[in-house]
Structure 1
């Protein structure tokens, strides 16, 4: 639908806001992650044939509201993008239309991925853990 609405327009570019959850996922984020993965794939497909550059940015969390806390790992408040950082990030994102897909992470991405893998390892080692068998 979006593609059809814009196909007759001569836009300089289209900028889609995706989420870092497309890469990191998270507990309770499966539908949200899937929707953002779809958006990433949509932009990549359009870039194969469209004259208009479709840019997709997987943003980290934004903190517009003050204290936000997460029960897993570092608090969202420590990692979230602050409004005053937003202008500089937008300038960077829009500085080159050749960059069609970007991910903005405010923390070390390898460590954040490792955090999820570490949780899986700890759950498997836990005395209170259980096993699920799919038959």
Structure 2
């Protein structure tokens, strides 16, 4: 078994697509109408055949409540990895991305947490 897809429920798919592609630099893999929403996935350009992130509409009450609780308690919805956290922090900060947690050494990993503008905090990690 392997992970090929994970989802991040977002408050606005269009805004999420703009942030994840325009700001983070990911690429759209699939963008297909699905009822009143879209099957909208992004991938890392460093691994275009790798794990896809589904930018899923946060429609169900349980999902809304769960992700609001995560966000309001400063708990990241997921983690992305980088080879140079300080460079990504500088780049993303320069683009106006809000970081409630700046780069912090935590023994075997350095982490930061940013706001994806769509209702989620995302942890950015660099193994050390």
Shorter-chain TM-score bucket reads under 0.3
Q: Larger helix proportion, structure 1 or 2?
A: 1
Q: Larger strand proportion, structure 1 or 2?
A: 2
TM-score normalised according to structure 2 size: 0.26
* Largest Rg, 1 or 2: 1
TM-score normalised according to structure 1 size: 0.25
